[in-house]
Structure 1
């Protein structure tokens, strides 16, 4: 077929088609009167604050200085395991840097980071919190909060200030509990319960 034949064929097929005279827009009318259901949903949305799933508290903490050492372990963590953590002998599988964050930003990031570590099966991580040496009062604010927050998270087994080459008292090694998937894999490999 030539282009002239194609055009004639097209016009023959389209002979019964008529142009739409109205504009191609939907007519939406805003209800003048709000229904009782609408008013109730609106009131509920304003009255019910969003529930914060983050269990980390942001109230008063014991102030720590740049040179204070963080050290904590949950009962049941073996001394040899904690010693290896303290000496930085576990490979660092992830890192979180809290520098230049507000307390509220850090609170959200720490909670999210630990949850992500459990999800991905990471066991040994580092959190860089800074020493707070530039603060006029000498208080290491994020470090102080981190020392309070980490024990509040059930997935944290232990933490300790890092070795000098990893940031010293401005960072903390964190040991994280095994996730359910890792526990199941261990049972399969070692034939446990």
Structure 2
């Protein structure tokens, strides 16, 4: 949809002169004036003052996307609730673990795919994927960098094919198994 074009002062004067000479087709209708352009309202929040040389903390949390643990905790429970409760309390022992510490995204993805699909084919149900919490790499630039790239990327990989067909549930691990630096992955039974 186009934005309405507003008349300049000269165009408005010319239009008014032409409109005075016209005879309305239906005299009962009242001649309505053209709408005037609306002025932009100032934003409600004032812009904070800034001084040259002032340091700004760019690591403030933003509300664009909820955290990984929040998103995983809001996900529906697809497995037996009794086992889910035991798993989140750290009562179930993982049958295998994969440590992705120090790997790049390119190295970690094939390792994760091979580990998950291999674990399912062997008949494992609960595995632990350790990503680490990540290092603080924010250099103070205007665009914030993610804290823990693997920690954020692994749940996304687990939600995509071919891994999504093998997985029943993904949750952050209990503190004794790594806390927010690791994930429990509960696998489907192989067919």
The TM-score, its normalising length taken from structure 2, stands at 0.54
Write the distance in 1 (CA, Å) between the matches of 2:108 and 2:91. Answer: 26
Q: CA deviation at 1:92?
A: 1.1
Residue 130 of structure 2: aligned partner: 128
Which structure is higher in RCO with an 8 Å CA cutoff and minimum separation 6?
A: 1
Residue 153 of structure 2: aligned partner: 145
SS of residue in 1 equivalent to 2:171: strand
Change (3 A) 1:164 1:70: farther
Residue segments in structure 2 that go unaligned for 5+ positions in a row: 1-63, 139-144
Q: Provide, for residues 16-37 of structure 1, a one-character-per-residue CA deviation record: whole Å limited to 9, x for no partner.
A: xxxxxxxxxxxxxxxxxxxxxx
* Contact 2:90 2:176 (C-alpha < 8 Å) held by counterparts: no
Q: CA deviation at 1:77?
A: 2.1
Q: Provide, for residues 98-118 of structure 1, a one-character-per-residue CA deviation record: whole Å limited to 9, x for no partner.
A: 111111111111110011101
What does 1:6-85 align with in structure 2 at a 5 Å threshold?
68=69, 71=72, 76-85=78-87
Write the distance in 1 (CA, Å) between the matches of 2:77 and 2:94. Answer: 23
Residue 165 of structure 1: aligned partner: 176
* Contact 1:64 1:140 (C-alpha < 8 Å) held by counterparts: no
Q: Provide, for residues 41-99 of structure 1, a one-character-per-residue CA deviation record: whole Å limited to 9, x for no partner.
A: xxxxxxxxxxxxxxxxxxxxx9887x845626566423222222212222211000111
Name whichever of 71-80 and 124-133 sits farther off: 71-80
**By percentage of residues, which structure has more helix?**
1
Change (3 A) 1:160 1:84: same
Aligned length: 118
Q: CA deviation at 1:122?
A: 0.8
The TM-score, its normalising length taken from structure 1, stands at 0.54
Q: Select which of 116, 119, 136 maps to 1:117.
A: 119
Q: Provide, for residues 128-181 of structure 1, a one-character-per-residue CA deviation record: whole Å limited to 9, x for no partner.
A: 00111333345211011111111222111111111112111001111011112x
Write the distance in 2 (CA, Å) between the matches of 1:168 and 1:175. Answer: 16
Write the distance in 2 (CA, Å) between the matches of 1:64 and 1:131. Answer: 17
Residue 178 of structure 1: aligned partner: 189
Residue segments in structure 1 that go unaligned for 5+ positions in a row: 1-61, 181-193
Change (3 A) 1:76 1:100: closer
